[in-house]
Amino acid sequence: MVGSPVVNRLVIIGVGLIGGSLARALKAVGYCGEIVGAGRSPDHLQLAMELGVVDRTETDLGAAVSEADVVVVAVPLGAMRDLFRRLAGVLPESCVLTDAGSAKGCVIEDVRSAFGGIPDRFVPGHPIAGTEKSGVAASFADLFRTRRVILTPLAETDHDARDTVAAMWEATGAEVTEMGVAHHDEVLAATSHLPHLLAFSLVDTLSRMDDRAEIFRFAAGGFRDFTRIASSDPQMWHDICVANRAPLLQALAAFNRDLTDLARAIETADSEEVLRIFRHAKTARDNLYRD
Ligand code: NAP
154-177 average pLDDT score:
98
Q: Is 104 in the pocket of ligand 1 (CB under 6 A)?
A: no
Return the residue whose CA atom lies nearest to atom 40 of ligand 1. Answer: 130
Q: Is 123 in the pocket of ligand 1 (CB under 6 A)?
A: no
Mapped onto helix, strand or coil, the DSSP state of residue 145 is: coil
Atom of ligand 1 nearest to the CA of 21: 26
Cβ atoms 26, 35 nearer than 8 A: yes
132-161 average pLDDT score:
98
Residues whose CB is less than 8 angstroms from the CB of residue 265 and which lie 6 or more positions away in sequence, other chains included: 273, 274, 277
Cα–ligand 1 centroid distance for 272 (angstroms): 46
Cα–ligand 1 centroid distance for 236 (angstroms): 7
**Residue 219's pLDDT is what?**
82
**Residue 220's pLDDT is what?**
83
Q: Candidates 236, 237, 241, 244: which one to mutate for ligand 1, based on the most atoms within 8 Å of Cβ?
A: 236
Taken as a whole, the chain contains a residue count of 291
**Residue 123's pLDDT is what?**
98
Chain segment 73-100, per-residue pLDDT in tens = 999 999 999 999 999 999 999 999 999 9
Return the residue whose CA atom lies nearest to atom 44 of ligand 1. Answer: 102
Q: Is 48 in the pocket of ligand 1 (CB under 6 A)?
A: no
Mapped onto helix, strand or coil, the DSSP state of residue 122 is: strand
Q: Is 18 in the pocket of ligand 1 (CB under 6 A)?
A: yes
124-148 average pLDDT score:
97
Q: Is 241 in the pocket of ligand 1 (CB under 6 A)?
A: no
210-227 average pLDDT score:
86
108-129 average pLDDT score:
98
User: At residue 291, does pLDDT exceed 80?
Assistant: no
Cα–ligand 1 centroid distance for 16 (angstroms): 5
Chain segment 222-261, per-residue pLDDT in tens = 899 999 999 999 999 999 999 999 999 999 999 999 999 9
DSSP characters for 163-196?
Answer: HHHHHHHHTTTPEEEE--HHHHHHHHIIIIIHHH
User: At residue 195, does pLDDT exceed 80?
Assistant: yes
pLDDT band for position 44 (cuts 50, 70, 90) = very high
User: At residue 284, does pLDDT exceed 90?
Assistant: yes
Q: Is 90 exposed, middle or buried (0-12, 13-18, 19+ CB in 10 A)?
A: middle
Q: Is 75 in the pocket of ligand 1 (CB under 6 A)?
A: yes
Q: Which of 164, 79, 158 minimizes the C-alpha distance to 114? A: 79
Which of 38-47, 115-124, 219-228 has the lowest average pLDDT?
Answer: 219-228
Task: Give the chain's mean pLDDT.
Answer: 96
